[in-house]
A and B are shown apart, each in its own frame.
Chain A
Amino acid sequence: MSIKNITTGLNSIYKTCRFNRNFPSILCIVAFLAIGLMVFGLAAGLLQPVPYSFPGPSTLSISQIVRPVTSNVGLVMMSVGIILFALFPSLRVLSGINQFRHNHEIINLIIAVIVLIELTAGVLLIFVMKGVRT
């Protein structure tokens, strides 16, 4: 078996095993949940007795969401909605990992895991950076 034959074979496998474009239900649920939280949170924020001045407060930090010190439900909902929405691409990569695991595509699985690790590393890096709120 020559190298050319191996390459041709790998190439044909690459072409035929396309990623299944049907989104898992979880991605749709997360996307609509995030949008719902953002929209309702925005409405709650706009309807509060003391209106925000533009551009309004920044999003709450993780510790402020977990242990809320504010009774501003709207801001909590908006912050959680934005976090969920920002997680959507990561969930898409996770969905890919599941698909590759199901199809036994080891190399693609490893690549997807590397991308997910990089996405996670970006989040963890903030705890060692200056000027961030935790």
Chain B
Amino acid sequence: MIILELLIVGTLIGSFSALLGLGGGILMVPALTLIFHLPIRTAVGTSLVGIIAASAGSAFMEKKDREGDFRLALRLEVATTAGAVLGSVLAGYVSEKMIEITFAFVALFTAIYMIYKSSRPKHLSIPDDTGDQNAVESLFYQNYQPRHWLAGLSMASVTGAISGLLGVSGGFIKVPVMYSIMEVPLGIATTTSSIMVGITAAASVFIYYMRGDIHPLVAIPISIGVFSGALVGNFLLPHARVTWLRAGLVGLLMLMCGQMIMKAAGA
């Protein structure tokens, strides 16, 4: 039954997202177009609903000493939301092939980012629940002041446009921008990003809704699956071999990139 397949796919995507710190859109859109053969705009609209589900799930499960910076999130959302509205409007005028090709390159970029992330020193990664309080404190320390706002806001607007056009959360851009450019602690950058992705998706989702690009029979099972998968992923996080999962995801993203390009080329 196709609803069950959607639930399973959504759960797997939600688990991967929780384990690897991705928003899920980068997996949802290709899964819906390549496995379920949905038009890309429908896949993007569905993905945006799923991202809101994942963001809401993260918000309810967020731990007290690992909170995001809501004020920083809102400041960046001024630019991100504007970009998201523009991207989602643009999606109605751009051909499906162009969207598929753009998505393929974003998937490739995400794979490269995952490789870069795995090569970073271990102490700069978000710790799992091993009780390492020193690691938590170093990644969530409070005495920081965000800098380079112009660069941060510029990249935020680009991220919003990508999110609105392709249905991805953009966390793979937002987190490095906040951490590397704006000098926000990595832990706070990651949790702040999870706050932002829901608001960014909300900016675009109504445009896709009113264009008739959201089908409830697809969006609802996927969203329920993603939400459940996020819970499963958070539960499995202390026990998971994230390195192996990351390697598998990189391979999957490369494969999806090739498949999306071939689909766009009509092969």
Q: Which residues of A contact B (CB under 8 A)?
A: 11, 14-15, 18-19, 21, 23, 31, 35, 38-39, 41-42, 45-46, 52, 54-59, 61-62, 75, 78-79, 81-83, 85-90, 92-93, 96, 108, 111-112, 114-115, 118-119, 121-123, 125-126, 129-134
Contact = CB atoms under 8 A, between A and B. Distances in A.
Given A19-B70, A86-B202, A31 B56 contact: yes
B74 A82 contact: no
Contact of A89 (B199, B209, B210, B220): B199
A129 B3 CA distance: 32
Given A23-B59, A89-B201, A129-B89, A45 B216 contact: yes
Contacts of A83: 209
Contacts of B209: 59, 82-83, 86
Contacts of B74: 93, 96, 108, 111-112, 115
Looking at chain A's contact residues, the main secondary structure is helix
Contacts of B230: none
Contact of B78 (A31, A55, A79, A111): A111
A122 B217 contact: no
Query: Which of under 10, 10 to 19, 20 to 34, or 35 or more describes the interface residues of B?
Result: 35 or more
Contacts of A121: 85
Interface in B192-250: 198-199, 201-207, 209-221, 223-224
Counting chain A CB atoms within 10 Å of each CB, which of B38, B60, B74 scores highest? Answer: B74
A82 B74 CA distance: 24
Contacts of A19: 69-71
Contact of A45 (B142, B204, B217): B217
B206 A131 contact: no
B134 interface: no
B42 interface: yes
A21 B201 contact: no
